[in-house]
Structure formats: structure tokens, C-alpha cells
């Protein structure tokens, strides 16, 4: 059980209301994509789900459990950002295992989890390399690997591919789709890229000014965009 449910979530920074009463249910195992213009609150909504920001009001539940006031580390989530700061002096294997080591996980267990993540992401041949000897796409796979080793129920991605060139983005899209299928985890994914949204999403949530403008499957939004704004984000010819 790892669906994510938001009820009437509001976030204000001072008197700036950034999230304006969001109700949303992401099913267990669903790939849910947030799209919308810069500044509409996509990252803030992810950070609220992650617990990196506190809601001003409203509730957030993960796997049916109210986590509104639960610490990020205890929410069963892992977040992947666009700027993936790998430790330059550590190998790929050490980067993958570092968080577990800090949490006092045994060496044997770390080796197993790092091995599993490396296999899933096809990083096995690179485990002994330093980050400086990796391509951008390989580094981003290590960053995703660091999330996988923690065994989260829910993955949160904030524009993870936006620093990569078009070819690598296309490659990583395929990787992410495969990863989602293989792990069966709930994924919530923020992107600017229509192709990513249309190809990866089970459900697309279009945000505007801190509110949900429309949500539905890619086909639903493509065929029946509620207005020109949504059509613009989905790429519907209109």
C-alpha cells in the first residue's frame, strides 16, 4: 500500500499562497506526472509530499497513513533532483552505498542492495569508477540508484532529466519506464517536457497558479483538454 493522497493542501510562504487547495490521489504503482508553467508550484507540491516543506493546512497520506507531520526520513519516499551532487572522491559503488552506511546498515546488506540497484540500472561495469569518469546520463543513473537502494515505496522526481541533452533524455525516458515497470513503485514526476509527460505518465496533473487545472490520462487530456491552457501543455493541435 503506497498510494499518495492530498486533501485540501494549502502552502503559503508569508502572504504568498503558492499551493491553493490541492486534492489529489495517486494510486499505488501509478506513474503520475506534474506539468505546468514555471512558478506554478510543482516543486513545492513535491517538497510537501516529501516533507521538506510543511503544509500550511490540509493533509497528506502515504499508504493510507497520515504523514502530514512525519519527518521526511520516515515517509518511505526518496527524491531525485535535477542537480545530482555525487561525492566526487567516492566511487559509484561508494556513492550508492553511502546513505545506507550512514544509517548503520551492515556491510553485507549494503553490498546486496548496491548490487541490486546497480543491476537494475545497468551500472555494474561502472561501480569502481569515480563520477568524473561518467557521462551525464550515467551520473543521473547513479543519482536514481541512490534513491533505489533505500527501497522507498514512493519515488519523487523533480525534473531529473532537464540537464541532459536530447539524446540522453530519450535514453533515460526508456530507462525510467523500464524502472517503473520493474519496481512497481509509485512515482510522482515533475517535468517541463511534453514528450516525457505523454510517454511516461499513467496520469498527468496540469497545475496552474497552485491549483489543479485538469488531470487525467495522457489520452484523455490530449483528446479533451479543458481549455487552451491545458492544450498548450499537452501539445494538442488547436
Spatial separation of the C-alpha atoms in residues 56 and 41, rounded to whole Å = 14
192 burial level (CB within 10 Å; 0-12, 13-18, 19+): middle
Q: What is the CB neighbour count within 10 angstroms for residue 180?
A: 19
Select the binding partner of residue 13 from ligand ADP, Mg ion, none (C-beta < 5 to 8 A, by kind).
ligand ADP
HSE at residue 60, side-chain half, CA atoms within 13 A, is: 26
Is the Cβ of residue 44 or residue 186 nearer to ligand ADP in the bound state? 44
Ramachandran category for residue 49: left, alpha or beta (phi over 0 → left; psi -120 to 50 → alpha): alpha
Please say whether the beta carbons of 190 and 34 come within 8 A.
yes
Spatial separation of the C-alpha atoms in residues 152 and 185, rounded to whole Å = 8
Select the binding partner of residue 132 from Mg ion, ligand ADP, none (C-beta < 5 to 8 A, by kind).
none
With H, G, I as helix, E, B as strand and everything else as coil, classify residue 165: coil
Total site size for ligand ADP, rule CB under 6 A? 11
**The only residue of 15, 38, 184, 237 in contact with ligand ADP, by rule CB under 6 A:** 38
Q: Is 208 in the site for ligand ADP (CB under 6 A)?
A: no
Chain centroid to CA 231: 24
Binders of ligand ADP in range 85-124 (CB under 6 A): none
Residue 119 C-beta: closest distance to ligand ADP, Å: 33
**Choices 40-48, 68-76, 101-109, 227-235; region in contact with ligand ADP by CB under 6 A:** 40-48
Is the Cβ of residue 11 or residue 153 nearer to Mg ion in the bound state? 11
Spatial separation of the C-alpha atoms in residues 233 and 133, rounded to whole Å = 37
Select the binding partner of residue 145 from Mg ion, ligand ADP, none (C-beta < 5 to 8 A, by kind).
none
**The only residue of 22, 41, 218, 231 in contact with ligand ADP, by rule CB under 6 A:** 41
Select the binding partner of residue 64 from Mg ion, ligand ADP, none (C-beta < 5 to 8 A, by kind).
none
Select the binding partner of residue 182 from Mg ion, ligand ADP, none (C-beta < 5 to 8 A, by kind).
none
144's enclosing H/E stretch is helix 136-148
Binders of Mg ion in range 26-45 (CB under 5 A): 43
| Binding interface with ligand ADP (CB under 6 A) | 13, 16, 18, 36, 38-44
| Binding interface with Mg ion (CB under 5 A) | 43
Amino acid at each position: 500500500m503506497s498510494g499518495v493522497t492530498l486533501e485540501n493542501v494549502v502552502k503559503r510562504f508569508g502572504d504568498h499562497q503558492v499551493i491553493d487547495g490541492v486534492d489529489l490521489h495517486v494510486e499505488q504503482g501509478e506513474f503520475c506526472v506534474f506539468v505546468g508553467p514555471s512558478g506554478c508550484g510543482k516543486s513545492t507540491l513535491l517538497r510537501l509530499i516529501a516533507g521538506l516543506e510543511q503544509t500550511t493546512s490540509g493533509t497528506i497520506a502515504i499508504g493510507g497513513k497520515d504523514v502530514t507531520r512525519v519527518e521526511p526520513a520516515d515517509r518511505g519516499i526518496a527524491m531525485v533532483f535535477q542537480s545530482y551532487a555525487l561525492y566526487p572522491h567516492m566511487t559509484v559503488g561508494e556513492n550508492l552505498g553511502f546513505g545506507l552506511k550512514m544509517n548503520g546498515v551492515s556491510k553485507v546488506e549494503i553490498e546486496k542492495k548496491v548490487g541490486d540497484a546497480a543491476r537494475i540500472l545497468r551500472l555494474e561495469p561502472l561501480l569502481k569508477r569515480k563520477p568524473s569518469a561518467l557521462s551525464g546520463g550515467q551520473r543521473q543513473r547513479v543519482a536514481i540508484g541512490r534513491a533505489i537502494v533505500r527501497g522507498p515505496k514512493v519515488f519523487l522526481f523533480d525534473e531529473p532529466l532537464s540537464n541532459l541533452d536530447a539524446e540522453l533524455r530519450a535514453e533515460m525516458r526508456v530507462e525510467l519506464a523500464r524502472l517503473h515497470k520493474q519496481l512497481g513503485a509509485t512515482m510522482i514526476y515533475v517535468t517541463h517536457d511534453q514528450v516525457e509527460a505523454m510517454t511516461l505518465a499513467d496520469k498527468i496533473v496540469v497545475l496552474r497558479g497552485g491549483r489543479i487545472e485538469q488531470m487525467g490520462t495522457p489520452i484523455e487530456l490530449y483528446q479533451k483538454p479543458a481549455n487552451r491552457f491545458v492544450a498548450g501543455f499537452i501539445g494538442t493541435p488547436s
